[in-house]
Chain A
Amino acid sequence: MTHPLIDRETRTPARTGSTVEFRGLHRAFGSTTALDGLDLAIGPGELVALLGPSGCGKTTALRIVAGFERPDRGEVLVDGADVTRVPAHRRDTGMVFQSYSLFPHLTAVDNVAFGLRMSGVGGAARRARAAGLLELVGLPEHAARFPHQLSGGQQQRVALARALALRPRVLLLDEPLSALDAQVRLTLREEIRRLQQELGITTLFVTHDQEEALSIADRVAVMRAGRLEQCAPPAELYARPATAFVAEFVGVMSRIPGRAGPDGGTVSVLGRTLPVDGTLPGDGEAAGEAGEVDVLVRPEAVEVLADGDGTSRIVSATFLGATTRLTVRLAGGSDVLADVPAHTAAALPVGVTATVRLPDRPVLVARRRGGNSGGRP
């Protein structure tokens, strides 16, 4: 019997994966509400990244899929069937944990073979399969090592192989890279993506690193306080955030005070009138007077010109390599972040007065937020 996971040549590309659907998931721990009506549908073979600030319920959602947690209300469907009452060991999910979770008393190859052993695969067959999987994650020569003899990155690779060994319908990754150093994170996330695409496994990837989410996911689901804010492909999420929270959580966004035009189709900001691309629902807490809005801009869309008569002033500069990120204080007191090419940054030292310009493109508008405005650092 050949196993498609091992026989790279005979492997069927992108077998049709399973679908996963959250329907109105609620889960409270005492007085904390971890999930507050989460709805999300994941297509077959799709990699969806769950992104959100700490404590927004990402891990809880994942653990409910794995069967380690029960929702108070709502259901989880896998391939259309409700699995809420299925015990964890019959869920057919593979999971990689944030902390190192290899069984300390087993070697790498025995760790990978553990699931096969539990499913009654014979000794020789499962060792062969496990060895193949270790090869798949690039660790064939470490088969006989115990977990404490492996580096963190190697341990997570073995954990990934262990999760893939049973060919799960759903792969669950709970911040598998967060304990690793930057370089290993980068290579391992590419590898996870490659394996996931080759095997066509429906995958939920929890992270609070937006760059990680944007770079490997088919779609990114941004969560906030136990609910879904927006689920969209990375480019769309970045360009057309559905809420002010998403706009400011994903990437960097500055707020510039503006005034809505009479028809609502334009906004006047920084002395010019620009078309409105979309109006985001505000946070509701501190809506200003009618007409007072914030224009949301990405740092790469802001132009800064040195100008002795300008009303703005450069208050700080951070060198980022190809670009320099300037913090510019506008006349009204709000700060705007701007990315300028490193060679023009030389003409814009900290302290000079400048003029800030926006390109002639439609802009995102959000209701004016109370208190201090300005970009997220």
Chain B
Amino acid sequence: MARLSGARYGRAAVWLAAGAYFLVPLACAVAFSVEDPRKGVDFEAYTGMFGADGFTGSLVLTVKVGAATVALVLVLLLPALITVRLTAPRLRTLVELVCLLPLVVPAMALVAGISAVLRWGPDHFAGTPLFDAFVGLQNPDFPGVLVLAYTLMALPLAYRTLDAGLAAIDLRVLVEAARACRASWPRTLVHVVLPNLRGALLNTAFLTLALVFGEYTVAAILGYQPFAVWIVVISGSQAQMSVAASMIGLLVTWVLLLVLAATGRARRTKETS
């Protein structure tokens, strides 16, 4: 009995420590964002944020880049992983290695490489269609170069989640069963493989979006202003609003997480009812 309650106290202590570790800074941040030396509490930082200079632009840019990154990651990775699993299991280690490589390449190195290419490319390809491609990649309304960089950075996460999803289903049998039911390859993918990978796809999309929303280094150095960069930029002049924006970002992330968990659970209960 004594041991049991001892364990309970131990657990409570861990929870408390962990909670304090997460919540105290958050609470301080919230307090700071609503503090007003004259009126006491003031939500101006939150209300004024939506009209603030650059808010909409940076958010739209981030959402666009995020969506494009998710699409590119899935389009690149899913067919590759499925093909490897079905036809060349021995290549799996190689694919895994390639996908995990970005983990050991620091963002700074990536940026240095990208800017070098961007500087070098146009000079060499002036007058060719490649020149236009280089210019198009750096279009400030839709910087393709950011999408490419984020895709690379998201590969390790996406690989892990997708691979786990594929491992959880009997891919070969499902594919062959679909093919024997006269489904062509694309229809097999759409009607059988994707529905059974729903959870993994959602997870991948979420993690990739979270990465894009929080990424600062690459975007800042390449000179773009997505949401994360905007937050830092305004922190100089409007510190409160910058913190408020971070809080909103955090809140949105949590809501997304909850929605994700809820869709997974809703599906399961629907099936067993």
Instruction: Give residues in A with beta carbon < 8 Å to B.
Output: 66-68, 87-91, 93-95, 97, 99, 101-105, 114-115, 117-119, 146, 148-149, 159, 162-163, 165-166, 172
Nearest first, the 5 A-B pairs at minimum CB distance are A115-B181, A88-B179, A95-B180, A101-B177, A105-B195
Shortest distance in angstroms between B61's beta carbon and chain A's nearest beta carbon?
A: 36
| Alpha-carbon distance A113/B181, docked complex (angstroms) | 9
Cβ-defined contact, A149 with B177, below 8 A: no
| Alpha-carbon distance A104/B179, docked complex (angstroms) | 16
| Alpha-carbon distance A104/B191, docked complex (angstroms) | 12
Interface band, chain B: 20 to 34
| Alpha-carbon distance A88/B179, docked complex (angstroms) | 6
Partner of B176, one of A97, A102, A149, A166: A97
Cβ-defined contact, B176 with A88, below 8 A: yes
Chain A residues with Cβ under 8 A from B271's Cβ?
146, 148-149
Q: Give the nearest-CB partner of B172 in chain A.
A: A68
Instruction: Give residues in B with beta carbon < 8 Å to A.
Output: 169-170, 173-174, 176-184, 187, 191-192, 195-196, 198, 271-272
Cβ-defined contact, B181 with A93, below 8 A: no
Shortest distance in angstroms between B214's beta carbon and chain A's nearest beta carbon?
A: 33
Chain A residues with Cβ under 8 A from B182's Cβ?
89-90, 115, 118-119, 166
Shortest distance in angstroms between A185's beta carbon and chain B's nearest beta carbon?
A: 20
| Alpha-carbon distance A56/B187, docked complex (angstroms) | 34
Shortest distance in angstroms between A120's beta carbon and chain B's nearest beta carbon?
A: 10
In this complex, the member of B173, B178, B179, B191 whose beta carbon has the largest number of chain A beta carbons within 10 angstroms is: B179
Cβ-defined contact, B176 with A104, below 8 A: no
Q: Give the nearest-CB partner of A63 in chain B.
A: B176
Counting residue pairs across A and B whose Cβ atoms lie within 8 Å, the total is 73
| Alpha-carbon distance A114/B182, docked complex (angstroms) | 9
Shortest distance in angstroms between A175's beta carbon and chain B's nearest beta carbon?
A: 13
Known: A89-B184, A149-B272. Is A103-B177 also a contact (CB below 8 A)? yes
Shortest distance in angstroms between A340's beta carbon and chain B's nearest beta carbon?
A: 46
| Alpha-carbon distance A107/B198, docked complex (angstroms) | 17
Q: 11 A-B Cβ contacts within 8 A?
A: A66-B176, A89-B180, A95-B176, A101-B177, A103-B178, A105-B195, A114-B183, A115-B182, A118-B181, A119-B182, A162-B181
Q: Give the nearest-CB partner of A93 in chain B.
A: B180
Q: Give the nearest-CB partner of B176 in chain A.
A: A68
| Alpha-carbon distance A172/B181, docked complex (angstroms) | 12
Known: A103-B196, A104-B196, A148-B271. Is A67-B179 also a contact (CB below 8 A)? yes
Chain A residues with Cβ under 8 A from B195's Cβ?
103, 105
Chain B residues with Cβ under 8 A from A148's Cβ?
271
In this complex, the member of B170, B173, B181, B195 whose beta carbon has the largest number of chain A beta carbons within 10 angstroms is: B181
Chain B residues with Cβ under 8 A from A97's Cβ?
173, 176-177
Q: Give the nearest-CB partner of A104 in chain B.
A: B196
Q: Give the nearest-CB partner of B272 in chain A.
A: A149
Chain B residues with Cβ under 8 A from A66's Cβ?
176, 179-180
Chain B residues with Cβ under 8 A from A94's Cβ?
180
Chain B residues with Cβ under 8 A from A117's Cβ?
191
Q: Give the nearest-CB partner of B173 in chain A.
A: A101
Shortest distance in angstroms between B177's beta carbon and chain A's nearest beta carbon?
A: 4
Partner of A114, one of B173, B178, B196: B178
Shortest distance in angstroms between B236's beta carbon and chain A's nearest beta carbon?
A: 51
Chain A residues with Cβ under 8 A from B178's Cβ?
103, 114, 118
Chain A residues with Cβ under 8 A from B179's Cβ?
66-68, 88-89
Cβ-defined contact, B177 with A118, below 8 A: no
In this complex, the member of A103, A115, A165 whose beta carbon has the largest number of chain B beta carbons within 10 angstroms is: A103
Chain A residues with Cβ under 8 A from B173's Cβ?
97, 99, 101
Chain A residues with Cβ under 8 A from B192's Cβ?
103
Chain B residues with Cβ under 8 A from A93's Cβ?
180
Cβ-defined contact, B169 with A104, below 8 A: yes
Chain B residues with Cβ under 8 A from A105's Cβ?
195-196, 198
| Alpha-carbon distance A118/B191, docked complex (angstroms) | 9
Known: A103-B192, A103-B196. Is A95-B183 also a contact (CB below 8 A)? no
Shortest distance in angstroms between A160's beta carbon and chain B's nearest beta carbon?
A: 12
Cβ-defined contact, A99 with B170, below 8 A: yes
Chain B residues with Cβ under 8 A from A166's Cβ?
181-182
Chain B residues with Cβ under 8 A from A159's Cβ?
177
| Alpha-carbon distance A103/B170, docked complex (angstroms) | 10
Cβ-defined contact, B196 with A89, below 8 A: no
| Alpha-carbon distance A94/B198, docked complex (angstroms) | 27
| Alpha-carbon distance A115/B184, docked complex (angstroms) | 11
Shortest distance in angstroms between A111's beta carbon and chain B's nearest beta carbon?
A: 9
Cβ-defined contact, A95 with B177, below 8 A: yes
Chain A residues with Cβ under 8 A from B187's Cβ?
118
Chain B residues with Cβ under 8 A from A118's Cβ?
178, 181-183, 187, 191
Chain B residues with Cβ under 8 A from A162's Cβ?
177, 181
Q: Give the nearest-CB partner of A107 in chain B.
A: B271
Shortest distance in angstroms between B85's beta carbon and chain A's nearest beta carbon?
A: 14
| Alpha-carbon distance A93/B176, docked complex (angstroms) | 12
| Alpha-carbon distance A67/B177, docked complex (angstroms) | 12
| Alpha-carbon distance A102/B176, docked complex (angstroms) | 11
Shortest distance in angstroms between B174's beta carbon and chain A's nearest beta carbon?
A: 7
Q: Give the nearest-CB partner of B194 in chain A.
A: A105
| Alpha-carbon distance A68/B172, docked complex (angstroms) | 10
| Alpha-carbon distance A172/B192, docked complex (angstroms) | 21
Shortest distance in angstroms between B196's beta carbon and chain A's nearest beta carbon?
A: 5
Shortest distance in angstroms between A298's beta carbon and chain B's nearest beta carbon?
A: 39
| Alpha-carbon distance A103/B187, docked complex (angstroms) | 14
Q: Give the nearest-CB partner of B86 in chain A.
A: A68
Chain B residues with Cβ under 8 A from A91's Cβ?
180
| Alpha-carbon distance A104/B272, docked complex (angstroms) | 12
Partner of B174, one of A90, A103, A146, A165: A103
| Alpha-carbon distance A146/B183, docked complex (angstroms) | 21
Q: Give the nearest-CB partner of A145 in chain B.
A: B271
Chain B residues with Cβ under 8 A from A87's Cβ?
184
| Alpha-carbon distance A206/B7, docked complex (angstroms) | 57
